[in-house]
Every structure is written in C-alpha cells, then in structure tokens.
Chain A
C-alpha cells in the first residue's frame, strides 16, 4: 500500500497542473544543462580544409603571408561592398572544396554566415555555391557556431562533409552598423576594426558519416540514403562504445566489412588532420554594457561563461589546453575575461584573434579586429596550422559575438553577447580525446 501511495503521490506531485509540468520540464532541462553543458562528439570530426580570403588591411597584418588568397581591393570587381563580400564567400567555398580534395557534390550542407542584414552575403553567395545551405547568424561568433553545428551534423552521420563559410566586410559593416565609410569620425581606443575577408572550412571525411562510402554521381545515389543511414547507425554505436570506454576491437569488427573499412580509412585520414572533439554552445549573456564601441568589454562575460562551462563539461583544467583562444575580445576585452575566469578560480592565459590579425604598431585598428571573418581568418591561417603541425595538442577556440544592431543600440538597449567553444585536437590525438 505504501508503495502504491508513493507512486500515486509521486505522479500527482510530478504533474499536478500544466504550470507544474512546465516547471518540471524547465527543471529537467536546467538539470541536463548542468550535467552536460558540452557536446562531446562520438568520434573526432576532422577539419579537412581551412582556407582564407583576406582583404588589404588583413594582408598588411602579421598573418599577411599566410592567407590563401589576397584581395587587391574592397570591391573585387563587384559594384557594391555587399556583393564583394558575397564574392569572397564564393571564392572561399570553391577553394575549400578543392583544398579538401573533394568535388562540389561531396558536400552535403553549407553552413554560412556574415554580418549583413538578412545574411546578405551568405544568401547571395549561395546562389553560386549552389549547395544545400543553412544560414547562421551569431555576429562575430558565427565561425564557432558553424564549426559546432557542422561537426554535429557529421558526427550524427547526417552529412558526409559540411562546408562552413563565414565572411565580413569592413565597409559593408561600417555603413550598416555605424557611418558611411568616408565619414570622418574619431573612435575611442576600445573600438574594433571589422575584418574584410572570408574563411571556409570543410569538416567530415572521418569514420563517422561513412567516409569510405563511394560518392554517387550526384552525391546521393538512389539507394544511398537507407544504406548510409544503416552504416551510420553502426558507426554511431561504435562511437558510443568508444566514448563510454567499453568498446573493444571485437565489438568494432562485428559491425561488418564496410564499417571496418570505413573506420580504417577514416582513421587514416583523421590521423593527418586536426579534429573537432567537443564543443559548447554559448548562452547569451548580457551584463548591461551599452557601448557599441566596447564590444570586447561586452563580450568578455559570454566568453568566460562558455569557457567555464566547457572546462566543467569536459572535466579539464585550463592547463589541459595548449591554448585557449577567444574570438575577438581584442586588447581590452581579453584581460577582462581573464579576470572573470580568475574570479571563478580558473587561471588561464588567453590569446585573442582580434589581437592577432593586425599589427598594432603600424595599423590604426584601435583595440583590434572583429567581424565574422576575424576569428575565421586567424583560425584558418594561424591556429589550425599550429594544431596540424603538432605545436599545439589541444586548442579551445571560443568565438565571441555581440548580438546588437544599429536599431537596438540607438534605442538604448544593452548588448547581448554569445560565445561558442570548439575544442580542436592535433592529428592522431583524436582517439585519446
């Protein structure tokens, strides 16, 4: 009787009213977030290619020699800044697919984003890229958002290869967020310089999404869907076992010949490439900063929040990472973020993409770079090569974005900010991740 009472009581207590149910659901969501703030991929997702298209000011910076394509001017033969930016994305996408050694039909989805209203550059570029496209807006954090989602799509076996492309254009951003480009104005030292350029990444080709599956003539043969899903189911299961630590060789072999082949080929490919092993999507954090000329200061709490949640979710200390690189907090936002981490008992020396893109001694960019392309350019031209070369074993890339618009700050609203973390490990380290 007492057992029955308990069940009945439990049921009634658990679902007394609609409000109660909602509260319970909210509780369980919060609980789940507290337990698992981090996405840990079942298998490392290789970054097959990372290419850059850089504008004139970016070429003059310290990474100038490492970009894949250098633009002669801000218009690249187009009529408007906006169309020029779309053209950057087209170039970057084409170069990335070639650099990955793939054909266009091998890409199952494009995740693209930029800073223009209604994702202008991405939408217009997608006409030419002509592949299934999902537009993303995370302001300057778009690169992290794209890598996170791309890795998740590959990991889930839903896509063989995903192309992530981000861009920004200094002049297009200036006229949209601030003033006409030729308008003369003096900015405070905390202002940041929107980068001109685009970065594109190809993810996949590992052992997750049937990397060994022969690509059909149009990328997805008539029977491809079902059989690939079946394969994916297998590989997923192996992945889960490996992640749980109880998968063994025998278990893997039982998956069938195709799987073993796929896993072997994928592992070989993955051994040469940096791999995404985990990611933490950011919460939107608004600490009441209203100054659009201090975005680093506005974004720092979002970055600190995501870094803390990632470290907690991965159960790792900051020293487990060769480098923690924030998106574009720039000169004055990065120390604020370090302070915030210190308050939580985490001593970490951060690096920042906004401080890396330009030469402060020669270029008048105030606090540093920003824009969706900024951290994409630095990641592709500077960070990933270091990971690939083994100089860094484990990189935490935390792209930060300020989700403001001209309308919102003119109406006196504070700046909501977000940061997405992506953990990238050196080739061959994936299995130990």
Chain B
C-alpha cells in the first residue's frame, strides 16, 4: 500500500505527536565539554611545541599531527565511537574526528583486503570532507585573491 500525499501528511502529523524532541540543549552542552576538552589537549601540545622553540605555524601543524594520532589510537582501541556517541559534533568536528572517520573504515574493511578493502574504502566517510574542503579552499582562494587584486588570468585565457 502506497500512501497518497494526504495520507502521508496525516500520518506525519500523527507520528510527530509521539516523536521525542532532539535533546538539543543536552547535546550542545556535551558537545561543548567534549569538543572543548579535545581543544584543551591540543592547547597543551601547542604550548609544549612552542616552548621547545617551534614557530607558531609549525607548532600548529605538530599539534594537528598529535591530535590526529590520538584520535586514530582511540579509534583503534574502540573508544572514539563511544566518545562521539556522547560528544556528537564536539568529537566529530576536531581533527581527531577526521582521523576517526578514516581509521574506522580502514579497520572495518581490512577484511576485504588491502587494495579493495582498506585502500578503496578508507575515504568512504572522509571523502566528502576532502572533496568539498578542497572545493571550498579553491573558492575562498579565488575570492581572496580577487579582493586583493592579485587574481590574474593566465596568458592563454586573456582576451
């Protein structure tokens, strides 16, 4: 039985009466706590690298590497999914969440082999982040350079 538009609308209204609201406030607080904790750990690393004499840009890059490594490790021992269950976006958004999104399919599909399993499916979750991240970077770069008057077309494209 395929419901028509009216039946669908009526049923959606009935379902909405029983559907629990998403615990937004709860989720926001937990995301803040979990995401904030990850950032605090990052800050500890950053300060350490800075004290050891790394310039700010390199200290930032080393911090990212450290957080990725920790995210990958926690995924490997089966803890990161538990943290993200509680922390939601607070655990997904930091770069440790990105590590989780790559390590978890790599672990899952290892059983299908190194090429068609790990290799082919490792970016199954993170792929969209890479694709649209690059696209966004390209657009931002064009806008930035355009705004600073540094955008010039290559010779063969100029009228």
A360-375 interface (Cβ within 8 A of B): 364
CB of B42 closer than 8 Å to a CB of A:
no
The answer, among A79, A175, A183, for a CB contact under 8 Å with B101, is A183
Interface flag for B27 (CB, 8 Å): yes
On chain B, the residues within 8 Å of A217 by CB distance are none
Say whether, besides A286-B3, A336-B15, A364-B85, A184 and B92 are in contact (CB < 8 Å).
yes
Which positions 268-303 of chain A face chain B at CB distance < 8 Å?
Answer: 283-289, 294, 297, 300-301
Q: Select A180's contact among B1, B19, B84, B107, beta carbons within 8 Å.
A: B107
Give B53-95 as 1s and 0s: 1 = Cβ < 8 Å from A's Cβ atoms.
Answer: 0000000000000000000000110101111111111011000
State whether A182 touches B80 (Cβ < 8 A). yes
Residues of A within 8 A of B86 (CB): 186
Complex Cα distance A284/B81, Å? 35
Task: For A343, give the chain B residue with the smallest CB separation.
Answer: B14
B87 neighbours in A (Cβ, 8 Å): 186
Contacts A179-B104, A182-B75, A301-B11 hold; do A283 and B109 have CB atoms under 8 A apart?
Answer: no
Cβ-defined contact, B125 with A190, below 8 A: no
Structural contact, B105 and A287, CB atoms closer than 8 A: no
**Secondary structure type dominating chain B contacts:** helix
A101 to B87, CA, bound (A): 51
Q: Which residue of B is nearest A298, CB measured?
A: B15
Instruction: State whether the Cβ of B22 lies closer than 8 Å to any Cβ in chain A.
Output: yes
Question: Among the listed B3, B22, B76, B91, which residue makes an inter-chain contact with A188, where contact means beta carbons less than 8 Å apart?
Answer: B22
Candidate in B27, B81, B103 with the most chain A CB atoms within 10 angstroms: B81
A residues 299-319 touching B (CB-CB < 8 Å): 300-301, 305
Query: Are B8 and A288 in contact, CB atoms less than 8 angstroms apart?
Result: yes
Question: When the two chains form the complex, which single residue of B18, B85, B109 contacts A336, counting CB atoms closer than 8 Å?
Answer: B18
CB neighbours of A79 from chain B (8 A): 111
From B11, B103, B125, contact of A288 by CB (8 A): B11
In the complex, A287→B10 CA distance in Å? 10
- Contact check, B2 vs A335: say whether CB atoms are below 8 A apart: no
Which residues from chain A contact B2 at a C-beta distance below 8 Å? 286
Q: Is A225 at the interface (CB under 8 A from chain B)?
A: no
Q: Which chain A residue lies CB-closest to B77?
A: A182
Determine which residue in A184, A186, A284, A301 has the highest number of CB atoms from chain B within 10 A of its CB, and name it.
Answer: A184
Q: Roughly how many angstroms separate A188 CA and B17 CA in the complex, as a whole number? A: 16
Asked whether A181 and B1 contact (CB < 8 A) given A80-B111, A190-B20, A301-B11, the answer is no
Contact of A182 among B1, B17, B108 (CB under 8 A): B108
The answer, yes or no, to whether A339 is at the interface (CB within 8 Å) is yes
CA distance A297 to B16 in the complex (A): 9
Counting CB contacts under 8 A, is B147 at the interface? no
A175, A187, A305, A364: which contacts B1 (Cβ < 8 A)? A305
Cβ contact of A186, chosen from B14, B75, B88, cutoff 8 A: B88
Tell me if A257 is interfacial: C-beta within 8 Å of chain B.
no
The residues of B that contact A180 with a CB separation of less than 8 Å are 104-105, 107-109, 124-125
Check: A185 CB closer than 8 A to any chain B CB. yes
In the complex, whether B154 has a CB less than 8 A from a CB of chain A is no
Measured between alpha carbons, how far is A185 from B83 in the docked complex, in Å? Answer: 9
Is B83 touching A184 in the complex (CB atoms < 8 A)?
yes
Cβ of A332 and Cβ of B18 under 8 Å apart?
A: yes
Interface members, chain A 184-210 (any B CB < 8 Å): 184-190
A186 to B: closest C-beta gap in Å: 4
Q: Specify which chain A residues have a CB less than 8 angstroms from the CB of B76 in the assembled complex.
A: 182
Pair A183/B1 contact, Cβ less than 8 Å = no
Asked if A336 and B14 sit within 8 Å, CB to CB, the answer is yes
Min distance, Cβ A354 to any Cβ of chain B, angstroms: 14
Q: Is there a chain A Cβ closer than 8 Å to B35's Cβ?
A: no
Chain B contacts with A in 1-38, Cβ cutoff 8 A:
1-3, 7-8, 11-12, 14-15, 17-20, 22-23, 27
A133 contacts the other chain (CB 8 A): no
CB neighbours of A80 from chain B (8 A): 111
13 A-B contacts (beta carbon < 8 Å): A180-B124, A183-B81, A184-B80, A185-B81, A186-B86, A186-B87, A186-B88, A186-B92, A188-B22, A189-B22, A190-B19, A332-B20, A336-B14
Closest 3 CB pairs of A and B: A184-B84, A288-B8, A180-B108
Given contacts A180-B104, A180-B124, A332-B18, 11 further A-B contacts (CB under 8 A): A180-B109, A180-B125, A185-B81, A186-B84, A186-B85, A186-B88, A284-B1, A287-B8, A289-B15, A294-B15, A339-B17
